[in-house]
Every structure is written in structure tokens, then in C-alpha cells.
Amino acid sequence: MYPYEVFFQYNNVYPSDYSYFQTPWYNNTNFIYPLYWNNFQRNDSISSGIINSALELSNKIRGLWEQHTVWTRATIVSMVFDLPDVNFVTNRLLQNPEDFGNAFRVYYGDKIGSKLRDLIKEHLVIAAQLVKAAKDGDNKAEAEIEKKWYANGDEIAAFLGSINPYWSEETWRRMYRTHLGLVKSEAVNLLTKNYSAEASVYDELERQALEMADTMTQGIINQFPINFR
């Protein structure tokens, strides 16, 4: 039995809610950059029990969000510049929803894991359609696709808010709308060859994605404390 069965438009100003990166709530001391946690040998008293379990989950979720941002950018770059690897990086990007779904199945079961997979896949497919429309200069199609994209983001927020009492739909809606705005800004800057601005946007996109990861991790730990004893 599984443990559970059951407008924020980016305008070139980083939202105050994400103006700085906070270390995870369960590791406020001896903070190690997440990409190196797996290789870092801890020798103090927090190397066992709940901290180890929480760090393992955090590594997993942060890794998924890092891959989400990295492969989204790689796909946008390949589409914008007609690179020959576009199909390969797109296929790798579409592995990310599968990986999110598998991570959630551990706690929520197949039905919820599959639903999240489908919603995130839709998010990525719509994003690719939006980049194509913008590149083609089809303003009407771009506006229509963007509405679908934000509606999908709101649907993801509502879904996450419905499966975990420690997640707020409104918080997820705000975070997803910020995420979408940053991704759009990233694509626009690449299309207009404003590479310096694009690099800055990506830094903010990564930082905000990691905050989304920590929100996700904390909610899972709070909902399933027995898994982290």
C-alpha cells in the first residue's frame, strides 16, 4: 500500500519572493552545494537518521529540477539555432517528466505519479510550441499557446495542492508562473541574440527552480515523516 492514495508575469525584475536562495530547512548548518552532496562525506552527528534520509530525497528532487532547467535550455538553444542535435536533446528533456513521475510513485502510487508525468510533459511540449511560434513570428499563435501554457501551470499547481496538505496551491501557482516567465524570457533573449541578459535569466531560473525543489522536498517529508526516521 502506498503512503498516499487518494499573476506572476516576469518583467525583467526578479520577484522579491525569490531574491535570495535559502538553504534547506533541514540543513541550516554546514550547507553544501546540492550538486556535491552525493560526493561529500559527512563526519558529524547529522550524518545519520532523518538528515540522511532528507538529504537523499533532496538530492533526488533537486537533481530533477536541475535537469529540467538544463535540458529545457538546451532544447530552446537547439530550436532557435537549428542545431542538428535538436531531436536528441528534446528526447532527453522528455525523460524528465518520466523521472518526476517515478519519484512521486514511491510516495503517492502509480495514478498520481502518472498524472504528474503527463502534466509536466504537457508543460514541456507547449513550451516547444511557444518557441516555434515566436521564432516563426506568428504572434497570434504565440498568444494562444502562451495562454495554454499558463493554464497548464495552474493545473499543475492545483494538482500539487490537492495531493499534499503541506503544499499550497497558491504558492505553487505563483512559483510556476514565475518559472514560466523566466523560461519565456530566456527564449526571447536567445531569439533576439541578447546573450548577456539570457545568461543572467538562466542564473535566476536555476535558483528559483531549486527553491521549487526545496518546497517539494519539505512537503513530502512533512507528509510522510515515518519515511524519514
Closest Cα partner for 217 from 58, 41, 77? 58
Query: Can you give the pLDDT at residue 93?
Result: 98
Please identify every stretch of the chain with a pLDDT value under 70, giving residue numbers as ranges. Answer: 1-50
Question: In the chain, what's the furthest Cα-to-Cα distance?
Answer: 59
Q: What is the pLDDT of residues 78-134, one digit of tens each?
A: 999 999 999 999 999 999 999 999 999 999 999 999 999 999 999 999 999 999 999
**Looking at the chain, which runs of residues are DSSP E strands?**
none
Neighbours of 12 (CB within 10 A): 10
Which letter does DSSP use for residue 20 in this model?
Answer: S
Neighbours of 152 (CB within 10 A): 20
Q: How many residues does the chain have?
A: 229
**Residue 101 host element (H or E):** helix 95-108
* Amino acid, res. 25: W
Cα(177)–Cα(183) distance, integer angstroms: 10
**CB of 163 within 8 A of CB of 169?**
no
Angle at alpha carbon of residue 82, lines to 79 and 83, rounded to 5°? 95
Q: Is 9 exposed, middle or buried (CB count within 10 Å of its CB: 0-12, 13-18, 19+)?
A: exposed
Tell me the domain boundaries of the chain.
50-228
Q: Is 136 exposed, middle or buried (CB count within 10 Å of its CB: 0-12, 13-18, 19+)?
A: exposed
Cα(58)–Cα(55) distance, integer angstroms: 5
Query: Can you give the pLDDT at residue 9?
Result: 33
Query: Can you give the pLDDT at residue 53?
Result: 85
Closest Cα partner for 217 from 60, 72, 48? 60
pTM of the predicted model as reported, rounded to 2 decimal places: 0.79
Q: How far apart are the two ends of the chain, measured CA to CA in Å?
A: 19
Closest Cα partner for 103 from 67, 76, 75? 67
CA distances from 163 to 3, 56, 116 (A): 11, 22, 11
Query: Can you give the pLDDT at residue 89?
Result: 98
